[in-house]
Structure 1
Amino acid sequence: MRGTGKAEVFAMLAHPVGHAKSPGMFNELFERLGLDSLMVPVTCAPERLDEFWAGMDAMSNLKGVIVSIPYKVPMLAKAETAHPRAARVGAANILRRLPSGGWEADNFDGYGFVLAMKNKGHAMAGKKALLVGAGGAGCSIAFCLAEEGVADLTIADIDPARAARLAAEVQAAFPACKVRAGAADPAGMDIAVNATPVGMHAGDPLPMLVANLTPGMVVFDIIMEPAETRLLAEARARGCHAEPGRPMMDCQMQAMSDFLDAERKNRG
């Protein structure tokens, strides 16, 4: 039976939180495994985050928190320790309770993307890549692409200054990768990634210049809904490997579950 007084509690924090998939996915997992655990969607106005977190932190049965927009940056500051994946991008998308009572942060956005790419057999080392979007997810993906050995990375964003800052940070961390800010043009690329929300709604423009997509190129759209974005349809029509966002989320979920020990694999 789930949801007893002895239940382990996890939270999904976002504002708004209604779009979040993690609570449903984790609660389905807990149900399947017969675990007395539950994940609860929670939200608050951004200006009340400190007040809100004081109460959450005081919950001794709160074991972990998955974090989404707009809280990834401020929640990193709530952790006493952080994995380099989170520290280098300055944002966390998950926190877990430590035995001390404090919190440890990590960021699995880029990790989930890389694992999804590998699961589909797409090599990254030595390739040329275009990343559209220098926000939270894009930032994490940029570092992970460079870490995987991408030879050349172009970062495009609606805010050119933000793209330039991210390019400089990734270049400094991974000197072997040639990183620059540029246009959302996939001409000559091996990999093209949309890490923006452009494409979630009917009537959205295309996030990149699809006329320059070529057969054999990997086009990855991190959007989960719709599963078949206009970008993916255009890519598939041009003979590209069109990869949707759900596998990235599935990979992130497994990594998050392991990080939280949500399945209680490592406890006697």
Structure 2
Amino acid sequence: MDAVHITGTTRLYAVLGDPVRQVRAPALLNPVFARLGRDAVLVPVQVRPDGLPELIRALTAVGNLDGLLVTVPRKQTCRRLADSVTDAALSGSVNALRRRPGGGAVDDGARMD
């Protein structure tokens, strides 16, 4: 496995779950970031259900965090915690949340740009 070079300009993404041992997204997406020349890294973050609201508030205040991926069974809870949702969230759940530039989270149909 190649080392990920993280600097003060690196954009952060997190995948939230409990447990996170099974999470494959970092192994899949970090090489894609590198291949595309994106200064970004995706890390797993283990959070218990009762800690999810506080963690979402804290992470969406982090200025260099761009997005959150959500694992089962937290998808419906995270939709309720989003500051706003788009029409793409018709299912009542989310796969991803994007951090607004000024803070807060919005579900925008899993767009991660």
2:87 corresponds to which residue? Answer: 84
2:63 and 2:73 map into 1 onto residues whose CA distance is: 25
Structure-1 residue corresponding to 2:112: 260
8 Å contact 1:13–1:41 — kept in the other structure? Answer: yes
Task: Name the TM-score, length of structure 2 as normaliser.
Answer: 0.84
- Offset, 1:49: 1.4
Structure 2: unaligned runs, 5 residues or longer: none
Q: 1:86-126 deviations in whole A, cap 9, x for unaligned?
A: 1x21111100022342222145xxxxxxxxxxxxxxxxxxx
The root-mean-square deviation of aligned C-alpha atoms, in Å, is: 1.8
Q: Which has a greater percent of helix?
A: 1
Select the residue among 26, 33, 44 that pairs with 1:23.
Answer: 26
User: Which has the higher mean CA deviation after the structures are superposed, 89-98 or 53-62?
Assistant: 53-62
CA–CA distance in 1 between the matches of 2:108 and 2:73? 16
> Which residue in the other structure is 1:220 paired with?
none
Which residue of structure 2 lines up, in the alignment, with residue 58 of structure 1? 61
State the Cα distance separating 1:84 from its structure 2 match. Answer: 2.1
CA positional deviation for 1:55 = 2.2
Moved over 6 A (4+): none
Distance 1:92 1:28 in 2: 24
Alpha-carbon spacing, 1:102–1:54, altered in 2? closer, same or farther (3 Å): closer
Summarize the alignment of residues 52-201 of structure 1 with structure 2, pairs less than 5 Å apart: 52-86=55-89, 88-107=90-109
Contact 1:93–1:106, Cα closer than 8 Å, also in 2: no
**Number of matched residues?**
110
Structure with higher strand content: 2
Larger RCO, structure (CA 8 Å, separation 6 or more): 2
In structure 2, distance between residues paired with 1:103 and 1:53: 8
Give distance in 1, aligned partners of 2:75 and 2:55.
15
- Structure number with greater Rg is 1
